[in-house]
Amino acid sequence: MGLPRVGILADDRLQQHLLKSALVHFGFDVVVNADPQRMDLLNFDQLELDAWLIDLQDEDEEHFHWLDRLLDSDTPVLMGFARAPHKNCPTFPKWEKRLYSKLREMVHATPVVAEDVAVLDKLTTSFDAGKLSLPAIFQDKNFSGQVAAQVWVLGASLGGPGAVKSFLDALPGGLPVAFIYAQHIDPRFEQTLATTIGRHADYEMRRFSEGDALRCGEILVAPIENEFSFVEGRLHDHHTGWPGPYGPSIDQVILNVHSCYGERAGYILFSGMGNDGAEAIVGLPDEQLKIWAQLPQSCANSSMPESAIETGRVRYSGDPQQLALQLVNHIKNTWVDNNESISD
């Protein structure tokens, strides 16, 4: 099945650009993106659209003849949707997500934002050749089983499993850190995801278990259907679905992790379709914020990291191996700084 085909009619060039950018980010095929003055040049019968998106500042009567024609057709029409804020505005990610949800309700062909299980069958290669060395300061220590003081969220969607596997395969075992892996994928394949991604990693993939604490050397696979948070540092199941159009909601995972770990948490957004994660990071306090993103050029789908980068809150971007190296150095430097301050 092809991408949902959408036509945009807007009499403002900036709105044309913002609307198209948002829809492409979410996996729509924008077939028409034009000023209404060009309507007479379009051949309606050949467009075969799944929906029209219309944004008019000037409600001139000369538009009514073609507007009546659109409204009388079988193609759904979305009008009167809130105008797009500027891309640097904190409300832009929320506006994008509302637009996606509205169009998703209207079209028959739903955009694909979650990873297909078929990709997991191809992820069999180990990246041992690129395995990083454990810093010397950790080589005589054993953090295994200790409650993690530092937690990193790995958020991903389309193209994410390959990128996250490359990242994890490059990490040396023995770091004092735990991970939460939030991946958009069909709930039926949650266990397959954990098995495949963890096959060559030096970290243990684990499923959600009520009341557990996150421990060093572990990767919690965020449950796809039920939201979770933390109560006194331990996992808590809300027994309700995630907010938003897909699960797990990376935005909500980020907010729930930050409420528990604060400055002791970090966030990396990998390859994916859509903007999940961007809305949350613009709402977090800027002090000591650790938000990284996969370099868009290295992504199978760059929309998710690009949306994060556009917020201006991403502090570092690189390919999966570069992100792994950056994390190793960050954990080493954090450990040295904390222990020097204690010894002083």
Active site residues: 157, 184, 276
User: Whole-angstrom Cα distance, residue 155 to residue 270?
Assistant: 6
* Closest by CA position to 257, among listed 294, 220, 305, 304: 220
Could you give the C-alpha distances from 342 to 44, 329, 334, 339, in angstroms and in order? Answer: 71, 20, 12, 5
User: Whole-angstrom Cα distance, residue 139 to residue 129?
Assistant: 20
User: Whole-angstrom Cα distance, residue 166 to residue 324?
Assistant: 9
Could you give the C-alpha distances from 116 to 50, 151, 167, 296, in angstroms and in order? Answer: 23, 27, 20, 20
Verify cis geometry, omega within 30 degrees of 0, for the bond prior to 248: yes
User: Whole-angstrom Cα distance, residue 163 to residue 42?
Assistant: 41
**Which runs of consecutive H residues, i.e. helices, occur in 171-275?**
190-197, 250-261
Q: Cβ distance 77 to 70 under 8 Å? A: yes
Tokens found for residue 33: 């993106």
